[in-house]
Structure 1
Amino acid sequence: MAYILRKFGILVFTLWVAATLNFILPRLVPGDPVGAMMARYQGQLTPDAAQALRIAYGLTDQGSALTQYFTYLNNMLHGNFGRSVSQFPSPVTDIIAQAAPWTIGLLGVTTVLSFLIGSALGLYSAWRRGTWLANILPPLALFVNAMPYFWFALLLIYFLALKRDVFPISGNLDPFVGDAFTPKWWTSMLRHAALPAITIVVTAAGGWLITMRNNVMSVLGEDYLAFARAKGLSERRIVNRYVLRNAMLPSLTAFGMALGFVVGGSILVETVFSYPGLGFYLFTSVNAKDYPLMQALFLMIAAAVLIANFLVDLLYAVLDPRVRDGRPA
């Protein structure tokens, strides 16, 4: 219990630090969202309209910096992040609520798939080393892991969308697809998600393969494996109970980080495919200087990464009793 409370205290403190930095950093940038909007409309906004927008965005004088800070924390706790500049007058929370399911559905599933596929192949490559398939997997994994997302995505678009017209080039659904969750809707959604999903799984699985292979190779030299074989345990039990459990622990932290960054979306992949997820909106908000939307997305990414790492710490305590007992690993 002390271990969990300590980790939870670190989580709350780090979230507060992230929220505070999220309050300070945008205020260090010259100008404000209304100034960016006036520049984009080339002076079409009158001074009265600009002042009305500043009031709507909460940019008028609200007292001291400390008062604004506590107002910001109160609004944040109530889920009030203001209105988007690039999609005015839509509230930021509406935009995030619309985009989040697409990002979590695509990147969440593909992140888990790439982790499972890469880890399984890495275990096989280390356990069955010496066979032709196990020997060819590491260099192949290094090759695919070194490929940039956007380069591989462009190859898929060229060969499977432009040349063959197997999959659509961009978007998340066909026009006029009808009601949600019907067979036609699912077919359209899966066709649009296929190329981004292939891009993520192929390029990310290689890194998980190399990581798991290295972990397994280090575990294979431990004395407890020789003792397990001397006891006459089967190879399957040795792999499941001793090798996999101990080799998986170092990968959990990286997996938690990867799951946390799912909230931010894969900016390059979603931008290349014009997939309307959080990463795509983060990219457009930076270009449009949409500070309210940008600020909310940055805070979501930070919170997701911290919460994911907290859950990984709890999983560590379940898998390795030495962690929660405070003993050296």
Structure 2
Amino acid sequence: MRYFARRIGFFLATLWAAVTLNFVIPRLQPGDPAEVMVRKLAGKDAQLDPAAVRAMRAMLGAPDGNLFQQYVDYLKALSHGKFGISYTYFPYPVTEVIGKALPWTLVLVGVTQVLAFVIGVTLGAYAAWRRNTRFDSLVTLGSTFVGTLPGFWIALLLLFAFGYTLGWFPTSGGYEDSMPGWNLGFVGDAALHSLLPAASLLVTAPIGWILGMRNTMVMNLGEDYIRLARAKGLPDRVVALRYAARNALLPSVTGFAIALGGVLGGSILVETIFDYPGMGRLMGEAVSNRDFPLLQALLLFIIVGVLVANLVADLLYGVLDPRARKAGQ
């Protein structure tokens, strides 16, 4: 019980620190969002009117007062689930903007993360079982090489080859002519638009799971319980799946839970390259436009998602492995 209480205490302390940093970091960014919007409306070479800047700041609901008062107001707004008005998508609230982008990221990045995990642990386990063979060398060396390739370069290459040159897939957006809704036309259109971004993520996403699963399983194959299982005359398939792979999978499951928590952040580069309407593109727009309310809400979503996933992973680890509870006391 002490193990679980400590993990929950660490979670609450980390959450408070994350919320505070989420308030401070956007305000360290130079520039005034109100001035940026007035300059966009008036033109880059036009002289800024202080009255117009003040009016824009009031219209955006920009925080005023000293930093401590802003922090108190920020905490009060969070307690009521209010994140303010988005500067980029004025006059829409931040919650509405995020609500429209979140499903796209959950489908794209969530599905690719699950597929990457399944593919990665399967290839890694089989490569470990067949270690020092041609298949093992191909998987490990190939994964190491592909892991050195930049993700944005892979996305641009796929976009050029299959989008512009061959014209097999759409080059941007989440859908085209169909009306959004739960109908076959829209679902098929959205799936077609997501294939290239998903392929860009799946090229490199399984690599960490492959190498991690292989290395962990190779270590487990040298343990005494594996020798005992073989001495009992158990089939190789049983030894590989029920003994070696099952124990090697535990760290990967923990990492998978944390990776799912990071899904809320989307993939900024891939979503920006394909103009995909997800959380990653939203994050890029918020940074470039100094949209403090939207940026704070996005960062908070990502941080809370990772922290909750980390907490769930710690609690599950304590349930699945009694040694973790003993070590944490």
- TM-score of the superposed pair, with normalisation by structure 1: 0.92
Paired residue type of 2:181: A
Q: Which amino acid aligns with 2:175?
A: L
- SS of the residue 2:264 aligns to: coil
Which aligned segments of 4 or more residues in structure 1 are displaced greater than 6 angstroms?
none
| Structure 2 equivalent of residue 81 of structure 1 | 83
How many Å separate the matches in 2 of 1:133 and 1:24? Answer: 50
Task: Give the corresponding residue for 1:198.
Answer: 199
5+ residue gaps, structure 2, are none
Shift of residue 46, structure 1, vs aligned partner = 5.4
Deviation at 1:83?
Answer: 0.9
Aligned-pair distance for 1:174? 1.5
1:75-128 Cα offsets, whole Å, 9 max, x none, are 112221111111111111111000011001110110111011011001001102
Moved more, 33-42 or 164-173: 33-42
Give 5+ residue unaligned stretches, structure 1.
none
Number of matched pairs: 326
What amino acid maps onto 1:66 in structure 2? F
Which residue number corresponds to residue 278 of structure 1?
279
User: d(CA) in 1 for partners of 2:81 and 2:47?
Assistant: 32
Given that 1:142 and 1:207 are in contact with CA atoms closer than 8 Å, whether structure 2 keeps it comes out as: no
Give the drift of 1:55: 2.9
2:189 aligns with 188
Rate the CA distance shift 1:25–1:135 in 2: closer, same or farther, 3 A. Answer: closer
The two structures, once aligned, show a CA RMSD in angstroms of: 2.1
Per-residue CA deviation, residues 237-263 of structure 1 (Å, 9 max, x unaligned), is 322332122212332343233222211
Identity of aligned residues (%): 46
SS of residue in 1 equivalent to 2:263: coil
Tell me the secondary structure at the aligned position of residue 261 of structure 1. Answer: helix
- Distance between the aligned counterparts of 1:97 and 1:232, measured in 2? 56
The correspondence for 1:59, drawn from 62, 77, 87, is 62
Which amino acid is the alignment partner of residue 310 of structure 1? L
Report the CA distance between 1:47 and its aligned residue.
Answer: 4.4
Partner of 2:305: 304
How far off is 1:72 after superposition? 0.7
**Residue 276 of structure 1, CA deviation:** 0.8
* Equivalences for residues 1-329 of structure 1 within 5 A: 1-42=1-42, 47-59=50-62, 61-62=64-65, 64-175=66-177, 177-178=178-179, 180-326=181-327
How many angstroms apart in 2 are the aligned matches of 1:109 and 1:248? Answer: 20
Report the residue type matching 1:197 in the other structure. A
Q: Which amino acid aligns with 1:215?
A: T
Following superposition, the deviation at residue 178 of structure 1 comes to 2.9
Q: Deviations over 1:39-78 (max 9, x none)?
A: 333358854443333234443544x543332221121122
Give CA deviations for 1:220-278 in whole Å, capped at 9, x if unaligned: 11111111222233333322332122212332343233222211111111011110101
Bigger Cα displacement from structure 2, 46-55 vs 276-285: 46-55
Q: TM-score, normalising length from structure 2?
A: 0.92
